[in-house]
Amino acid sequence: MEQTAAEKITAAEQKPSIYTLQLHELKNWLKDNNEKAFRAEQIFDWLYTKRVTSFDEMTNLSKGLRDSLSANFSLTTLKTIIQQESSDGTIKFLFELHDGYSIETVLMRHDYGNSVCVTTQVGCRIGCTFCASTLGGLKRNLEAGEIVAQVVKVQQALDETNERVSSVVIMGIGEPFDNYDSMLSFLKIINHDKGLNIGARHITVSTSGIIPKIYKFADENMQINFAISLHAPNTEIRSRLMPINRAYKLPDLMDSIRYYINKTGRRVSFEYGLFGGVNDQVEHAEELAKLIKNVKCHVNLIPVNYVPERDYVRTPKDQIFAFEKTLKKHGINVTIRREHGHDIDAACGQLRAKERKEETR
């Protein structure tokens, strides 16, 4: 009989992923194991430049060190279950984790490069009412290495055509600020010049609005892009779409965002999904313009995909343009996000929900 994911967790005796370690942590581990610290840079080179898939390929390390790495860490933590390609070049990956759970990662093609959207948790407990990822609740947090490995796996797929991952967005399944420490380690590893060397300005993290973590993140003073899933122009609509708004209220959220902008000097992005008949009227655009007046920001309008498990419908095209025009009239920077992978299961969590029904119940 096939094991359930929970049984696999109990059965699994998983070593930590080598991708979880930052360079200084790997140096410390080497020193503790009577090895030279400079080996850490050699190992990073094998992991992030040569992108090997086994410790045995790290041929400039001694056999003893390779065995020791292999005894203490795992290298291949994600197994590709599905790789779905859209006619626009978007590729959606479903990866299986060591304990049998699965996660989604998406490669999107833009004219400015290849962008990877990573997942930070198995499931999510935030409960946004428009999101398929939330249906089965939170199963567990990903460790930093499991998030890093998603980018490495996509880069390995791109290596076949000599292409490169040029940007990363943390907007997949899960709330990154609900798995804060792993998210932060992940950011440091992919940004490190000996790691994947993805520039801070090419990395975007998005939150549903966990206010204490917004203050904490502001104090990290990282130069990465910061997005907030706003989705509503007022408290009433936001609470309806995003229950988190009952715990972390809109006026307090706006205060934390102003703090972030003052502290970092950077502008923020507001993600605003357009849900037919809920938040997509011109009067909502007027209200939104008032809410974010004098906030250094950009608004991304996202025409939502129909999610079969939910009741929301798409906003007609002319209404999307009327919404955009209203914001522009108030001098707000706004773009309508191009849809990716419209012919595959592109909405957040849809592929996992469809393929892994037992996990999302």
Where is the binding site for [4Fe-4S] cluster, in residues?
124, 128, 131
Active-site residue, from 146, 271, 348, 359:
348
Interaction between residue 184 and ligand SF4 (CB under 6 A): no
Q: Among 174, 209, 233, 303, which residue sits at the site for ligand SF4 (rule: CB under 6 A)?
A: 174
Could you tell me which of 155, 134, 128, 145 has the C-alpha nearest to residue 181? 145
Interaction between residue 104 and ligand SF4 (CB under 6 A): no
How far apart CA 43 and CA 55 sit, in angstroms, is 9
- 355 assigned to active site: no
How far apart CA 169 and CA 302 sit, in angstroms, is 15
How far apart CA 201 and CA 223 sit, in angstroms, is 6
* DSSP structural state of residue 130: T
Cβ 22 to ligand SF4 shortest distance, Å? 26
Interaction between residue 241 and ligand SF4 (CB under 6 A): no
Identity of the residue, 65 or 173, whose beta carbon is nearer to ligand SF4 in the bound complex: 173
Phi, psi of 37 (to 5 degrees): -60, -30
Pairing mode of beta strands 91-96, 79-85:
antiparallel
Identity of the residue, 134 or 279, whose beta carbon is nearer to ligand SF4 in the bound complex: 134
Q: Which residues are within 8 A (CB) of 259 and not within 5 positions of it... i.e. 6 or more apart?
A: 214, 215, 218
* DSSP structural state of residue 74: B
Interaction between residue 126 and ligand SF4 (CB under 6 A): yes
How far is residue 36 CA from its own chain's centroid? 35
How far apart CA 13 and CA 29 sit, in angstroms, is 21
Which of these segments, 18-26, 97-105, 170-178, 334-342, binds ligand SF4 (CB under 6 A)? 170-178
Cβ 130 to ligand SF4 shortest distance, Å? 7
Active-site residue, from 35, 104, 324, 359:
104
Interaction between residue 175 and ligand SF4 (CB under 6 A): yes
Interaction between residue 128 and ligand SF4 (CB under 6 A): yes
How far apart CA 17 and CA 235 sit, in angstroms, is 41
How far apart CA 262 and CA 258 sit, in angstroms, is 6
**Structure tokens given for 85:** 């390609």
What are residue 131's DSSP bridge partners?
Answer: none
- 25 assigned to active site: no
Interaction between residue 173 and ligand SF4 (CB under 6 A): yes
Q: x-or-dash pattern for ligand SF4, window 316-355, by CB under 6 A?
A: --------------------------------x-------
How far apart CA 67 and CA 71 sit, in angstroms, is 6
What residue numbers does the annotated binding site for S-adenosyl-L-methionine cover? 174-175, 206, 229-231, 305
Q: x-or-dash pattern for ligand SF4, window 191-230, by CB under 6 A?
A: -----------------x----------------------
Identity of the residue, 61 or 183, whose beta carbon is nearer to ligand SF4 in the bound complex: 183
What residue numbers does the annotated binding site cover? 124, 128, 131, 174-175, 206, 229-231, 305
Could you tell me which of 140, 21, 163 has the C-alpha nearest to residue 91? 163
Residues that bind ligand SF4 (CB under 6 A): 124, 126-128, 131, 133-134, 173-175, 208, 348
> Could you give the residue numbers annotated as active site?
104, 348
